[in-house]
Amino acid sequence: MSSRAETAALAGGRAYTSLAAERPAMTESLLSAARRTPRETWVVVGAVSASQYLNHAYLVLFPPILAVLSGEFTVGLAALGVALGVQGATNTAFQLPFGRLADRHDRTLAFGLSSVLGAVGVLAAAAAPTYEWLLVAQAVIGVGVAGHHPAHYPLISDSTPDDLMGRAYSLYGFGGSVGFATPPVLIAGIVSAGYSWRIGVGIIGVVGLVAAVALTWLFAVRVDDAITAPNAAEGDPDAAGRVGPGERGSWVARTRAYLRELAAAPGVLALALLALVTSTSGWGFTSYIVVFLQDGYELSLSRANLALTGSYLVGAVAVFVGGDLSDRVSAGPVMIASFAAVAGLVAVLALGAVGPLAAVGLVLLVGGARSIAGPARSKLTDAFAPDGTTGTSFAITTIGVMLGNAVAPPAFGYLIETAGRRAAFLAVAGVSLLAVVLTVGLIARFGDT
């Protein structure tokens, strides 16, 4: 939590409060909340939501065209699952370094560096002549995407009033959902028109690079220092800049201090475990739903991709519902309902108990159900984060998300090739059901917002 809350509040930002902070009136509408939102909040949340849009587009460049890539690079689904997993692995590995950079040094630098690297990786993927080149490009994308949550969440947290936090995270989640929805339409549409998938990926990379430069300039020049500067934790001379580089101790000492800092946030660590489970379910669904609809329900590539896009668009609307419910009620029940609904819907889809049209409807409902939980988890992470560690805390929970991203594609790809697609999607449903159990335990142990 910020030790500069009063300054941030004067800049149109947020004054931190305890978990027992007074919730907004149940009758307040989204419109009235928007009218009283400070201008600085709109600028920051809008900018990071645009960045979130691009980063989420980077994450799903290839699931819509796995069959095309399999033919071009002469590899199977399991190998392409490894390529997807490589991105998740490097993303995971660089979460904490970017979190440390955002919390202890410079949020704008963390934002700019990650944004540029992500776009460069996408452009490299568009030019990939071989499967091995594609692996390297995916690794670079993962490093770039790794920095967006550690940089974004502290910026939102320090610019947004407490009672609007869920709604701010909803707008942020909306950007991500629309980002997820873009590649299935753009890239698959270009492929269906007879052009190369590389054109679509290249377009996303160019737009991402231009946006990276423009948004980094915005934060460097136009946003108040009370929001972009790191929050120095009380008693941390290194973070506060009171100790010179030669006096800051060894890397071993820093590592020990860092581990103590992580151990002081058991609620955040528990959320990271939950994020791992939900991400494994989510990425298992996202990575192979197009293939499943093609093979299991005999839909064409274009229609299967439209279903995936539709699920993200439904999710983009549902995330506002989730944010509003998180502010009006509390995070725990919203998360439990979300994970339970996903488990049930995916199970019905996996069993093949419906026709092709109904299957598309189920995919849309899954998109809405899983998006509702996003703002709630973000609120809990923000609430559980110790003072001065917002970026690091969100990096920790994102590690869980990205570990799921690394594990799910190769694991479920292997399961599809060995046990069949229905067994794989029943496993996706089972993992989501496990998330319900973990959420109940987490709320019982650490409390709710």
Q: What is the pLDDT of residues 21-30, one digit of tens each?
A: 444 443 355 5
For residue 385, the model assigns a pLDDT of 83
Q: Is 27 a member of any domain?
A: no
Q: Is 19 a member of any domain?
A: no
For residue 254, the model assigns a pLDDT of 60
Alpha helix segments (H runs only) across 193-247: 197-221, 225-228, 237-240
Check residues 420 and 32 and name the one with the higher pLDDT.
420
How many other CB atoms sit within 10 Å of the CB of residue 244? 7
CA distance readout (Å), 239 to 7, 308, 389 = 18, 43, 11
pLDDT band at 327 (very low <50, low <70, confident <90, very high): confident
Q: How far apart are CA 308 and CA 300, in angstroms?
A: 12
Residue 401, pLDDT > 70, answer: yes
Q: How far apart are CA 99 and CA 9, in angstroms?
A: 23
In degrees and rounded to multiples of 5, residue 38 shows phi and psi of: -60, 150
Residue 2, pLDDT > 50, answer: no
Reading phi first (left if > 0) and then psi (alpha if -120 to 50, else beta), residue 355 is in beta
Q: How far apart are CA 66 and CA 96, in angstroms?
A: 30
- Pick from 365, 318, 320, 338: nearest CA to 438: 338
Q: Is 245 a member of any domain?
A: no
What's the CATH code of the domain at 113? Answer: 1.20.1250.20
Q: Is 26 a member of any domain?
A: no
C-alpha torsion sign, points 118, 120, 126, 129: negative
Tell me the mean pLDDT in the region 356-362: 95
pLDDT band at 384 (very low <50, low <70, confident <90, very high): confident
pLDDT band at 110 (very low <50, low <70, confident <90, very high): very high
Domain membership of residue 409 as a residue range? 39-232+252-446
Q: Is the separation of the CB atoms in 156 and 48 below 8 Å? A: yes
Q: How far apart are CA 279 and CA 430, in angstroms?
A: 13
Residue 277, pLDDT > 90, answer: yes
Specify the length of the chain in residues: 449
Q: Is 388 a member of any domain?
A: yes
Q: Is 260 a member of any domain?
A: yes
For residue 161, the model assigns a pLDDT of 81
For residue 259, the model assigns a pLDDT of 64
In this structure, which amino acid lies at residue 406? A
- Pick from 52, 378, 328, 10: nearest CA to 161: 10
- The total domain count for the chain is 1
Q: Is 4 a member of any domain?
A: no
Q: Is 221 a member of any domain?
A: yes
Burial 252-263 (b: 16+ CB within 10 A, else e): eeeeeebeebbe
Average pLDDT of the chain is: 84
For residue 262, the model assigns a pLDDT of 65
